[in-house]
Amino acid sequence: MNADDFPTPDVDVETVDPETLKDRIDAGEDVTLLDARMQSDYEEWRIDGENVTSINVPYFEFLEDDIDEDVLDQIPDDLEVTVLCAKGGASEFVAGTLAERGYDVNHLEDGMNGWASIYEAVEVERYDGAGTLLQYQRPSSGCLGYLLYDDGEAAIIDPLRAFTDRYLEDADDLGVDLQYGLDTHIHADHISGVRDLDAEGVEGIIPEAAVDRGVTYADELTTAADGDTFQVGDATIEAVYTPGHTTGMTSYLVDDSLLATGDGLFVESVARPDLEEGDDGAPDAARMLYESLQERVLTLPDDTLVGGAHFSDAAKPADDGTYTASIGELVEEMDALTMDEDDFVDLILSDMPPRPANYEDIIATNLGQNAVDDDKAFTLELGPNNCAASQDSLAGD
């Protein structure tokens, strides 16, 4: 049976929207989840948290009239349980089946697809440049973006295609004109929104150094070379070439206050170096990354904030709720930033996580070599980003 074709339960099942579930988790409530997806999907990507108890029982276990007692024994009968699946169909059926047996259950609206639609904007309070800086956060994949606005103008760094309308609506609500959409590099974990924003009249900007990877649309957009600047009200965004994660990786220094590092440096880790050139090219890319970090990033003032394009479960938010940290803080906390080059290279190559799901198709799409519709684009990027080296080996004690 297809997970989208389940009959409607005979009992009413309460639906919980993704934002409400996240609010409960963020508030520290104890939450029990029954994930009805296949085990392989569950192991790759799921909702976690210190106060989240997650149980995986695939939906097919509930198809028989006589459900195995071993299955039911896994599900607490004295707690509220939220059932979830990929899109919401299977979870409604499973929740109804359990409700008929007296369990206190509800189900997650639109399943993990709904979870992937959550996108929050949090102000970076330690930013002290001109204007206001917001960090967009997508908890399902850990994707981060940055909206700078000042004096009626705005720019978005590392926009996601799935949220193109959101950026335009937010700019309208703020009473500002979205001038620029800037990509730090050719992303491997999500579909970029730069071209879609450009089609809406926003000037799309990609790193000049990324064009040689096979970008098919470079002539239609603006390219940013090292040192180029873009004015947003009284604030200045400067391109800082920082190759390593990719050969075209370019950070953006936002009014000398925050460096949007893309996938070069995160608050809990550094970039993985193998997504462009593979395993054979990873050692040279790692050395390139080391040079970029030592000569282009860590030479900035210690109070310069770093904001990457991702965060993982290992990342701890700052007091303002953003995934940002000062360069001084990162140097103190991350051993990899104070190693010599050989040790650095050995370390980040020693324990890299699995590559992002569908990364080859995503890269080809972001290069303009593949064309996919919005539904396909959304599906391609579901799951964890995995663009960082292993956090376990990089963090300090």
Write the single-letter amino acid at 131. G
Q: How far apart are the first and last CA of the chain?
A: 49
Q: C-alpha distances in angstroms, 249 versus 241, 244, 389?
A: 6, 7, 16
Structural domain includes residue 376: yes
CATH number for the domain that contains residue 139: 3.60.15.10
Q: Is residue 189 part of a domain?
A: yes
pLDDT confidence of 7, banded at 50, 70, 90?
A: low
**Angle at which helices 278-292 and 341-350 cross, to 10°:** 140
Greatest Cα-to-Cα distance within the chain, rounded to the nearest angstrom = 68
Contact 242, 249 (CB under 8 A): yes
Cβ partners under 8 Å of residue 222, min gap 6: 203, 204, 205, 206
How many structural domains are present in the chain? 2
Is the pLDDT at 208 greater than 50? The verdict is: yes
Which helix (H) or strand (E) is 122 found in, with range?
A: strand 120-123
By annotation, the residues acting in catalysis are 85
Q: Count of residues for the chain?
A: 397
Residues 224 and 327 in one domain: yes
Residue-number span of the structural domain to which 209 is assigned = 120-394
Q: How confident is the model over 126-160, as pLDDT tens digits? A: 999 999 999 999 999 999 999 999 999 999 999 99
Q: Which residues contact 231 (CB under 8 A, 6 or more apart)?
A: 153, 237
- Residue 396's pLDDT is what? 44
313 plus 372 within the same structural domain: yes
49, 82, 115 - which closes a domain: 115
pLDDT at 64: 81
Identify the domain boundary among 115, 137, 167: 115
* Buried/exposed 80-118: b ≥16 CB within 10 Å, e otherwise: ebbbbbbebbbbbbbbbbbbeeebebbbbbbbbbbbbbe
CATH number for 62:
3.40.250.10
In the block, residue with structure tokens 């960090």: 135
Same domain, 156 and 56: no
pLDDT at 287 over 90: yes
**Do 179 and 328 belong to one domain?**
yes
Using one digit for the tens of pLDDT, what is the confidence trace for 31-49?
Answer: 999 999 999 999 989 999 8
Q: Which amino acid appears at position 132 of this protein?
A: T
